[in-house]
């Protein structure tokens, strides 16, 4: 009897209607329990998967898709779902047991790949699962190369929904390895993908600008964002995001006058919490550039206390608070509290935690 992951996978089929249908296990966009959506898949693209449920068609975006169980004539539903179920089961193990079970899952996917070649969509999905499996296998087995696996998948498949999560996974790996140029190139390809919807292209281009800024290439980031803004309609709901990101690059270059208006407009507007965190942090940077450190501190405090849903932006606020509480207020205790909070595992992998660790370790080594 398989564990919870396999049981969930089999439940995809048990929950389906009597006539054979495709089933998508999706995340609830409102944050509730994951659900199964059964019907007939009509179309797949970087925009997501369109599935006909009854008389209506539903588009499920890439970030909400957990697993797909395709109905195929030559592969039973249970056979198709077994590798994924065992993959979820293996992830509950550790060490040698996980390594062995994940290797077994890879073998199962390879066997399934041969059987689904008559369905381009199912074949692409199985190849995607193999590429993503390499991410977890590499943690237990250094011989597994997830970067190559993801690159090969992206080269062979640019038109399906899987290109979006595969690109994000690859770019994240490359950034973690210090290959900023490689990560940027991956996002640039997605941003230029003609089959990707506008929101996916925008998100990818914003990531390009972020990486350029991280490399202190603020002028290049500014030009990238100006090009993105030029291609948007004035009433595009994402326009504010682009303007805030653009203002951040201008602040970093000392162009505070150009950045002031869009940042103040953003914090006064009705944008979501993520936008607010971006805007308040950028406004904090603006006040620091304008030699108003006390005002800057208040902007970062708002992110820490209220708009703290985004880990990177929260880490950015804590990093600046760590500096400012000591430099502006002379409050060593609050400064230390912010540093300790930033060093917590909650912010593992964030750029600003890495900066703080590097600086504190350097200070300890200094004579």
The CA distance from 160 to 157, in Å, is 7
Position 365 scores a pLDDT of 61
Query: Of the candidates 9, 57, 46, which has an alpha carbon nearest to the alpha carbon of residue 128?
Result: 46
Per the prediction, the chain carries an average pLDDT of 90
Residue 126 domain flag? yes
Count each helix (H run) and each strand (E run) in the chain, helices first.
16, 5
Length of the chain: 367
Q: Is the pLDDT of residue 163 over 70?
A: yes
Residue 39 domain flag? yes
Residue 304 domain flag? no
Span 42-65, mean pLDDT? Answer: 95
Residue 123 domain flag? yes
- Work out the pLDDT band at 6, boundaries 50, 70, 90: very low
Residue 133 domain flag? yes
Span 108-116, mean pLDDT? Answer: 96
188-207 per-position pLDDT tens digit: 999 999 989 888 898 899 99
The CA distance from 209 to 203, in Å, is 10
Kindly report the CATH number assigned to the domain that includes residue 29: 2.30.30.100
Residues of the domain holding 50: 1-144
The CA distance from 264 to 55, in Å, is 46
Residue-wise DSSP of 139-206: HH-TT--HHHHHHHHHHH--SSTTHHHHHHHHHHHHHHTT-HHHHHHHHHHHHT-TTS-HHHHHHHHH
The CA distance from 309 to 240, in Å, is 19
Residue 218 domain flag? no
Largest CA distance in the chain: 75
- End-to-end distance of the chain based on CA atoms, in angstroms? 61
Pair 36, 12: CB distance under 8 Å? yes
Pair 59, 13: CB distance under 8 Å? no
Residue 366 domain flag? no
Residue 53 domain flag? yes
Q: In what order do the strands lie in the sheet containing 35-45?
A: 56-60, 48-53, 35-45, 22-26, 65-69
* Count of the separate structural domains present in the chain: 1
Position 17 scores a pLDDT of 40
Stretch among 5-19, 35-49, 183-197, 220-234 having the lowest mean pLDDT: 5-19
**pTM to 2 decimals?**
0.78
């Amino acid at each position: 009897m398989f564990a919870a992951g396999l049981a969930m996978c089999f439940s995809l089929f048990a929950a389906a209607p009597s006539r054979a249908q495709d089933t998508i296990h999706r995340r609830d966009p409102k944050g509730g329990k994951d659900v199964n959506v059964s019907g007939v898949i009509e179309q797949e693209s970087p925009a997501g998967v369109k599935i006909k449920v009854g008389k209506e068609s539903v588009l499920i975006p890439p970030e909400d898709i957990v697993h797909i169980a395709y109905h195929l004539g030559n592969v039973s539903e249970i056979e198709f779902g077994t590798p994924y179920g065992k993959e979820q089961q293996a992830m509950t193990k550790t060490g040698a047991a996980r390594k062995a079970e994940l290797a077994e899952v890879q073998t199962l996917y390879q066997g399934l790949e041969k059987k689904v070649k008559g369905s381009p969509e199912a074949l692409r999905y199985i190849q995607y699962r193999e590429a993503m499996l390499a991410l977890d296998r590499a943690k237990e087995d250094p011989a597994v190369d997830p970067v190559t696996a993801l690159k090969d998948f992206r080269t062979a498949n640019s038109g399906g929904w899987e290109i979006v999560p595969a690109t994000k996974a690859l770019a994240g790996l490359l950034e973690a390895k210090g290959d900023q140029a490689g990560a940027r190139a991956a996002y640039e390809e997605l941003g230029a993908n003609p089959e990707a919807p506008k929101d996916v292209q925008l998100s990818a281009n914003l990531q390009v600008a972020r990486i350029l800024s991280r490399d202190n290439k603020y002028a290049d980031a500014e030009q990238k964002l100006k090009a993105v803004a030029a291609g948007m309609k004035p009433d595009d709901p994402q326009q504010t995001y682009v303007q805030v990101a653009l203002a951040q690059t201008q602040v970093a270059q000392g162009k505070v006058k150009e950045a002031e208006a869009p940042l103040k407009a953003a914090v006064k507007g009705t944008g979501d919490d993520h936008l607010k965190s971006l805007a308040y942090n950028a406004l904090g940077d603006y006040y620091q550039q304008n030699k108003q450190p006390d005002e800057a501190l208040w902007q970062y405090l708002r992110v820490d206390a209220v708009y703290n849903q985004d880990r990177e932006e929260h880490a950015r606020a804590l990093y600046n608070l760590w500096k400012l509480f000591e430099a502006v207020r002379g409050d060593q205790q609050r400064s230390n509290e912010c540093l300790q909070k930033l060093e917590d595992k909650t912010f593992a992998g964030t750029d600003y935690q890495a900066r703080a660790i590097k600086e504190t370790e350097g200070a300890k080594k200094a004579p």
